[in-house]
Structure 1
C-alpha cells in the first residue's frame, strides 16, 4: 500500500542560487518510481506516494538523485502525511487566529529536546516565542520571519549543530497536510 509523503528540500531557489525547477524535480522523483507527484511553490516542497515506509531512505535516495541531476547537494527531509498532520494538530499557538507569516514550523531530521536550547534567553525575545514538538520547532514571530530576532538566534550553530533543519510558514504547513492526505 502506498503512503503519501512530503519532501522538504532545504535552501534551494534562494536569490537565484541552487536552482531546482519544480518541473525537473517532479521528473527526477518520477524516475525514482514515486507516484502522485506534485510540487507547491518554488521553495522545495514536493509530495509523492511510495510503497516504502522508510523516510530516511527516501530522503537519502532523493538527495543522491538531486545531486546527480543538478550537480549540487541538497538536504532533504521526507515526512509522511500522518506526521505532518500530527505536527499541525499539536501546534501550541492559536494558528487559526494568526496570519500564516506569523507562525512557522522548523522540521528537524532527528528529535531535539529543551537542553539544546537551554542557553537561549527566550524571554529576551518577547513577544516572539518558540515551542518544541516531535522533530519540530514552532516559532511565533508576530512581525514575520524576516524581522524575527528569535529566528536568527535559533539558527545559530550552537543550537543547530548536527541537525538538518528546514522551516515552512503556517500556510505551507497547512497546504502540505492537505496535499498528503491519503
Structure 2
C-alpha cells in the first residue's frame, strides 16, 4: 500500500468553496482511499491507496470533489517519497522558518518556462528556486505582500500550483506513516 499527500487549492478561503474536512475524509474513504488524515482546513490530506498512482489520484480526487461538493478544485498529489525529497531539497532551509514557503506544482515545468519565471521575478526582493515540481520561496516580508502568487507560477510555468508555508509542509511530513 502506497502513501500519498494531496494538496487542494482554494478551499475554505473567505467562505468560498467550503468543504468540511470530516466530510472530505468521508468522501475520500468512499472512493477507496484508506488511513485518510487531514491537516487544518485548507485541504492538506495524507492517505493510502493500493490501486492508483499519483496522476490517477489527482483525477480521481478532482472528480470526486466536484461530484460530492460541486467545486472544481485544483488537486496536486505527491507520493510520500516525493514529499520527503521535497522537504530535504529546500535550498533556503538555514533561513528563518517564518520566511519559508513552498509552491507545489502539478508537473515539472519546462526549462524555458523556468527561465521566463526567473526573468519575471528578477526584480523581486523575494528569492525563489525551482527544483522538480517545487518552487522554494524565501519571502522576507509578510507573505501577503509578495507578488509571487500561484497565478504567477501557473502563468509562467504552465502548470497548476498551490502554496503552503514551510511550517505546514513540515507538519504534513510528520503525518506520514503515523
Q: Please, what TM-score do these two structures have when normalized by structure 2?
A: 0.90
Look up the SS of the partner of 1:112 in the other structure.
coil
Shift in alpha-carbon separation, 1:177–1:63, aligned structure 2, 3 A: same
Distance 1:83 1:8 in 2: 13
For 1:143 and 1:9, the matched residues in 2 are separated by 25
2:139 aligned partner: 141
**How many angstroms does 1:122 deviate by?**
3.7
CA distance in 1, matches of 2:138, 2:106: 21
> 1:117 Cα shift?
3.8
Distance across 2 between alignment mates of 1:122 and 1:26: 37
TM-score by length of structure 1 reads: 0.88
Corresponding residue number in structure 1 for 2:58: 59
> Offset at 1:170?
0.1
Q: Distance in 2 between matches of 1:122 and 1:94?
A: 20
- Is the contact between residue 107 and residue 136 of structure 1 (CA under 8 Å) also seen in structure 2? yes
CA contact (8 A) 2:4 2:80 kept: yes
Distance 1:22 1:99 in 2: 26
Shift in alpha-carbon separation, 1:148–1:6, aligned structure 2, 3 A: same
Runs of 4+ residues deviating >6 angstroms: none
Instruction: State the alpha-carbon separation in 2 of the partners of residues 67 and 22 from structure 1.
Output: 15
1:74-89 equivalences in 2 (<5 Å): 74-89=73-88
| Cα shift readout 1:6-32 (whole Å, capped 9, x = no counterpart) | 111111111000111101000001101
Aligned length: 176
SS in 2 for 1:124: coil
Cα distance between partner residues in 2 of 1:3 and 1:152 = 31
- Structure 2 gaps of 5+ residues are none
Partner of residue 170, structure 1: 166
Q: Distance in 2 between matches of 1:121 and 1:7?
A: 28
Contact 2:12 2:18 in 1 (8 A): yes
Instruction: Give the Cα–Cα distance (whole angstroms) in 1 for the partners of residues 122 and 17 of structure 2.
Output: 36
CA distance in 2, matches of 1:156, 1:118: 12
Cα distance in 2 between the residues matched to 1:165 and 1:154: 8
Task: Choose the corresponding residue for 2:108, options 86, 108, 111.
Answer: 111
Provide the aligned C-alpha RMSD in A.
2.0
Distance 1:110 1:153 in 2: 14
